[in-house]
Structure 1
Amino acid sequence: MLEWAWQLHEEGRLLELADPEMGEFPEEEVLRYMKVAFFCTQAAANRRPKMSQVLDMLSRNIRLNEKQLTAPGFFNSSGSLSGPSGKKSFSETTTSRMSSVPDTITQVTPR
């Protein structure tokens, strides 16, 4: 979905991502939320905003610097992070392999 959203953004058709069943909605606000999501999914971790910055971007009417927005990172079928061109965004010296530790779920039960 992220890849599709980025493609729509590049084509200037980002609002097509919104569910047509919603009817009317504040278009500028929805576009802003989608762009904030792009900032949060940048391929390079140092380009992603801190949660306090995300909160400010969503709750206050501050100007987003969209010129700093680059393509988000995507996971390919091998589990490594890549950009929209399919090239790995990690250097060859950095391990891009995902953890081999299986996912676990912790269930909290009351005393």
Structure 2
Amino acid sequence: MVVLAWQLYEEGKLLEAVDPELEEYPPEVIIKYMKVAFFCTQATASRRPMMSQVVDMLSRNVKLNEKQLTPPGFFQDSGGTSGEPSDKKSNESSTTYQMSSVPVSITQLTPR
């Protein structure tokens, strides 16, 4: 969902992410809330606002500096576990996950 919302943001179509069942809403408020959500999901923790800043952004008329926005960080399964091990002595399988653009490998050992 975050990926789709970010894609719509980049295309200038952020309101298309709103549930069509939601009949009445002020578009500028929805867009503001979604942009604050993007700030909260930045890939680098140091780029995310503190909770007090989030409260200010949501409750006051604060101008958001969209130039600081970068694509959000998200957890994506990039292929699942590997197939059967090629070496019969090793019952080891690996799973690779990707958090934003930083690859992470997790190795799971299983007893014989």
Q: TM-score range by the shorter chain?
A: 0.7 to 0.9
Partner of 2:74: 74
**How far has the Cα of 1:97 moved from its partner?**
5.8
**Structure 1 length normalisation: TM-score?**
0.74
Consecutive unaligned residues of structure 2, counting only runs of 5 or more, are 78-95
Deviation per CA, 1:3-36: give whole Å up to 9, x if none: 0000000000000010111112100000000000
Partner of 1:108: none
Higher Cα Rg, which structure: 2
% same residue: 61
Deviation per CA, 1:73-103: give whole Å up to 9, x if none: 1212044311xxxx32x7xxxxx468x9xxx
* Residues 1:6 and 2:9 are matched in the alignment: no
Paired residue type of 2:25: F
Consecutive unaligned residues of structure 1, counting only runs of 5 or more, are 91-95, 101-111
Over the aligned positions, Cα root-mean-square deviation in angstroms equals 1.8
Q: Distance in 2 between matches of 1:61 and 1:3?
A: 27
Following TM superposition, where does structure 1 have runs of at least 4 consecutive aligned residues deviating by more than 2 angstroms? none
> 5 Å matches for 1:1-111?
1-77=1-77, 78-82=96-100, 87-88=101-102, 96=104
User: 3-state SS of the aligned residue for 2:21?
Assistant: helix
Q: Distance in 2 between matches of 1:73 and 1:15?
A: 21
Larger strand proportion, structure 1 or 2?
2
Q: How many residues align?
A: 89
Paired residue type of 1:9: Y
